[in-house]
Structures are given as C-alpha cells and as structure tokens.
Structure 1
Amino acid sequence: MTPVLDIDDLRITYHGSRGPIPAVRGVSLTLDPGETLGLAGESGCGKSTLAAAVLRLLPPGTEVTGRILLDGEDVLTMGWGRLRAVRWARASIVFQGAMHSLNPVQRIVRQIAEPIVLHEGVERAAAEDRAVELMAAVGLPAWRAKSYPHELSGGQRQRVMIAMALACSPDLIIADEATTALDVMIQAQVLRLLKSLVAERSIALVMISHDLSVLTDTCERLAVMYAGRLVEYGPAHEVFTTARHPYSEGLAGAFPTVGDTAARRRPRGLPGDPPDPAALPGGCPFHPRCPVALDACATTDVTLLDVRPGWRAACLRVPATKEADV
C-alpha cells in the first residue's frame, strides 16, 4: 500500500535579519489511507510549519529539503500547475481561524462550491447542490446555505471549513488547531464529526494541537515535536499515559485530573519556554528544562530510539525504560 503521506528527513529553514532559523529539523513521518496522526507540541515547535510545507504554503525564500510524498508524488518538485491541481483535490487544510479563512462577502454555499467548480469543471448550480449535501454531512442545515460567515457561530464556521476541505474528496486532511478557539461543547462536536468522517470516507487525518488529551481521543498515533524535531512517536494512548520522553510526559501532566484534589493543589507543567530556533542549546535541546536530565544530555544529540516496534523516543533514558519493561 502506498502511503497517503510520506515525509522523509524534512528540513525547513527561514531566513531573516538574524540569519537562518531552522524551524523543522529532520522530521520523517508516514501516514496510510484511513490512518489518523496527532502532532503535538508547544507553540514554536514547528507543527504549523510542517503542515504548511505539505502543500507548499510557506513564505517565499524559505529553504526546504528532504521529501514530501503525496500518494507517491513529491510535492517539493511539482510545477505550479500540478501543485494547484493537488491542493483541495488530493490534500486540504482546515485552519484554526475560520473567520479569517472565509470570504466575509460571499455566501457559504458559494465558498464550499468553489473548489468543486475549479477542480472538477462542474457547473455552478450542480456544485452548489453538492455543497448543500456536504453541509448536511457536517451537520449544517440546508437553510444555512445562503448565510454569510458572520451570521454563523464559531462552531458552524468551523464546520463550513471542514465541508470545504471535503469538497473534492481528498485523500488527506490536515486540521491545524482546528478546534482550539471553540468552547468545549462545540469542540467535542467537531472532534466527533472528524472521527466519523475519517471512518466513513477512509480519509487520512493529521490533527495538530497542543492538547494531548484531544489528540489521544481522536488519533491512533501521536507524534510529539520539540525544537523542530520529533521527540516521541507511537500509539496515542500509550504515549499520553506512559510517555517515554520527559517533554511528552510534561505535556501530558499539564492537564489536571478531575476529582484529584492533590493534582489540583500541585499542578504539573514545565518551567520556561521552548528554545529560540536561532540559538538552540547543545546536546538535547530539551535538557535545560528537563527535570531528569543527565550530564550527557548537554552534549549528546539524541536521535529517536526504539521503545518497541512502532514506538520511538529521543531520550538517553529510553534503553533503561526498555529494560524495565521486560
């Protein structure tokens, strides 16, 4: 089976007044049809840069090396005509700010129909009929078709974005912080919707968030990024509950346990902030914040090590934890 998405040694460097800024540093990922992958990490760890690179949405002048294969075809070597054909039709993105992504002076039915008209050459009336069907699929009533974006709630606008992403039946959807700005009830509805659509249509889904609990509930596998690299990659539930990298453990521990008084009184978390990509520390970039760092962590640049098949972590303590599991 050809993977829907195959990223190999992806490196992305921005160039600014301070010189080169490495935002993504050697990331490799694969995603098969119907699979779901959660991509987690704090702001500034490279998640959205990675997402934008999949469809070459990065700013001009950005240096990108490695490979990004969509159904076996390298996005980085596509001509502009081929790239325009791939966007929406083969892969699409749902961004966090739906209000900023929708045209405020066009009715939503027209906006959902637009990629169908452009990519499939369908007449406008037929495309709008399909748009209404897509609205029903994401839980929007047909009478909302003539609404403008400002007439919808935040959750409804996000559903419009999902309908647009589905318009041309893509193989891959990337949801970049798609539920972050929503209240918890609407967030739960949108997450259920994404899960059901993935199951019904065998769509591969990459979901990006800083919230490990959301990703664990939605995705089969979880990839945790720090300072532009993957630091842990494995089954979502196991990474969330028994993380092998201290950074993953810190992210998971930042969520309070409902009903646990001790956890409420002693909230866990991580001190400090992610490092400046233009001035990364030596060795493991997490070691200045790591509560269990070894002396060697300051000088050893650790790559991903096998915890077991299908689960890897970039930590010097991984061999010890493997032995403890035996």
Structure 2
Amino acid sequence: MTTAPLLDIKDLTVTYDSGAAAVRGVDLTLEAGQKLGIAGESGCGKSTLALALLRLLPAGAKLTGEVLLDGEDVLTMKWGRLRAVRWAGASIVFQGAMHSLNAVHRVGDQIAEPMLIHGTVPASGVRKKVTGLLEHVGLPASRADAYPHELSGGQRQRVMIAMALACDPKLIVADEPTTALDVMIQAQILRLIEQLVAEQDVGLIMISHDLAVLADTCDRLAVMYAGRVVEQGPASEVYAAARHPYGKALSAAFPRIGDPSSRHAPRGLAGDPPDPSDLPSGCTFHPRCPVAIEACSVEDQELRGERDWQAACLHV
C-alpha cells in the first residue's frame, strides 16, 4: 500500500490581472521528512510559488491546478479551513526577519500568538512552550522579552524559525532564510534547520538562488526559470552535473573551494530572465542559452529523462 506524499503540487499556474504568468504548470511532490530545494534567479517564480502554497498572494492573482497538503487541496479550501491550516499544517519562514517581525511587540509574544489563535497549547502552558522553542533554536529563554531591534540578524532568524515551529506544522517553507546573514551565521542556521527537520520529521521546502547551499542542505533540487521547473533531481547530482544549460550556468556561477580554475575564471550568465508578461516563443531560456539551436525557438520543452532526474531541454 502506497501512501500519498505530504505535498503534491499538480499543474500549478499563477497569473495576474496584467496577464503575466509568474508560475506555469509546476508539478512537484514532497514526502514527510524530505527536504526539497528550489533554485533560480530573481524573477523566476520561486517566491510566488512559496506564497501560492498557502494562498498568500494578493487578490489580483489567479491560481489554477492543485496544491494537495496531506491529500487536501489548499486552492479549494474555504477561508475557515485555510486559516486553520496556516501555521498548524504549514508555515513559512520569510526572508528578512526584521521586516517580518512586529517591531513594537516582544518576540515571545509573537511566537505565542499562533499558538493562542489555533489553541494548540493551553493558555497556561504557552509561556513554557515559547521558552522551550527559543532554547530549541539556540536562544536563551530570556530573549522572549526582547524586541526585534535588540536581537542580531541571526537571532531574529532563529526567532522566525521558532515561530514557524510553534504549532507543530507538517510542512515548513523557508524562503531565502539566510540571504541577509553572514557566512558563519548562515551555516549555523542551515544546520539548525536540518536538525529540526530530522528531529520532527517535517517536510521542508527551501528557496534560494544559491545552488551550493541547497545541494548541501536538501535531498532533491528543482531549478525554476521563467515560472517553470526546468530541471529536478537529486540535489548533489544536479549541482555537480546539471543537465539543463540553465542549471549548469547557475552551478558554474559559484566558485568551488579547492578549484583554482573556478576561482580565477568565474562564469556567469548574460542577460536577465524574461518578463512574465512577454515570454519568448519556444523554450523561454533559448535567448540566453549557449547551446540553443533553431528548434529551441519554436517549441517549448517538457521535462524528459528518467523519473528521478529530469530536465526540460532538447539536448537531454
């Protein structure tokens, strides 16, 4: 008997009133306890996808397809059910904790708020749960009485992780959780996230432009370009030997420790992702692709290859 995945995204498309398609026909699955990385440049649809999972997009966004969380479609949930699922079923760690935390409330009160709203902990036990969560993410219990501006960037990000865990969700979506942090603190936060996922058997979706971070943290990796998944497979293998030209370009943009050639001659990718409201014909990557042929400008490519590792490229 096979069990349904924790998260099953089927043909998810997000369009705006302007006609721009920010996410186009995305299919992804995530098992409990699994870590899925989503990579791509700014403007490729990563954050839009993250917000769509809990219908946090603005009113002008139109969503089609299915987002099955534990077999229940988030896109068709009534408001009351959706409100119950947020935090308790799935939670999000946003990038830039200083902008996500309320500057005039103590961080302990902000961690407590979702527990009180959802009633997951009796009111008499909330304070104990808050201090326990802070200690779990490596902060002293006394930090519960601090305001966000009294904490460092790494400490604020730990508070955001504690808040995401407050109602014991089955899924955590981390949208660029370490972008604003220095390298040492970034490493600590990544190890912390890995540890918490392993201990609590939650599913993790981590979004980043940094393939090296995702390869080191995640089990599987999906590369997005112009709103579509153009490659997905085992994280370490996609990072080391991507099959799609875009995945190769992303991987090559980061110099590797111990590899002088990549340090002295870093490779980049000219140009920018296309405007979602004015996509080129055929494969949307072909105007920037170093191996494009005439057929690439005519027909868009579907994911192909073995089931475990696929790429949307004519050359695969």
TM-score range, shorter chain: over 0.9
Are 1:10 and 2:12 counterparts?
Answer: yes
Residue 310 of structure 2: which of 300, 309, 312 is its match? 312
CA deviation vs aligned residue, 1:63-96 (integer Å, no higher than 9, x gap)? 1100011100011111111110000000000000
Equivalent runs, 1:1-326 vs 2, <5 Å: 1-15=3-17, 19-120=18-119, 122-306=121-305, 308-318=306-316
CA deviation vs aligned residue, 1:170-225 (integer Å, no higher than 9, x gap)? 00000000110100000000000000001100010000000000000000000000
CA deviation vs aligned residue, 1:248-281 (integer Å, no higher than 9, x gap)? 0000000012344332332101110001111111
Runs (5+) with no aligned partner, structure 1: 319-326
TM-score where L is the length of structure 2:
0.97
- The one-letter code matched in structure 2 to 1:47 is K
2:197 and 2:291 map into 1 onto residues whose CA distance is 39
1:169 and 1:283 map into 2 onto residues whose CA distance is 44
2:260 and 2:76 map into 1 onto residues whose CA distance is 55
Cα offset, 1:295, TM superposition = 1.6
- The one-letter code matched in structure 2 to 1:312 is Q
Contact in 1 for aligned 2:111/2:166 (Cα 8 Å): yes
2:38 and 2:202 map into 1 onto residues whose CA distance is 17
- The one-letter code matched in structure 1 to 2:185 is I
Q: Secondary structure at the match of 2:158?
A: helix
Q: 1:121 to 1:91 in 2, by over 3 A?
A: closer
CA deviation vs aligned residue, 1:5-58 (integer Å, no higher than 9, x gap)? 11000010011xxx3000001000010100000000000000000000000000
Q: Secondary structure at the match of 2:288?
A: coil
TM-score where L is the length of structure 1:
0.94
RMSD of aligned residue pairs (Cα, Å): 1.0
Cα offset, 1:145, TM superposition = 1.4
Report the counterpart of residue 322 of structure 1 in structure 2: none
Cα offset, 1:125, TM superposition = 3.9
Cα offset, 1:128, TM superposition = 1.5
Q: Bigger CA drift: 259-268 or 28-37?
A: 259-268
Runs (5+) with no aligned partner, structure 2: none
1:53 and 1:83 map into 2 onto residues whose CA distance is 12
- Number of residue pairs the alignment of both structures matches: 314
Q: Which runs of 4+ in 1 moved over 4 A?
A: none
2:258 and 2:215 map into 1 onto residues whose CA distance is 20
Contact in 2 for aligned 1:46/1:228 (Cα 8 Å): yes
2:32 and 2:87 map into 1 onto residues whose CA distance is 16
Cα offset, 1:103, TM superposition = 1.1
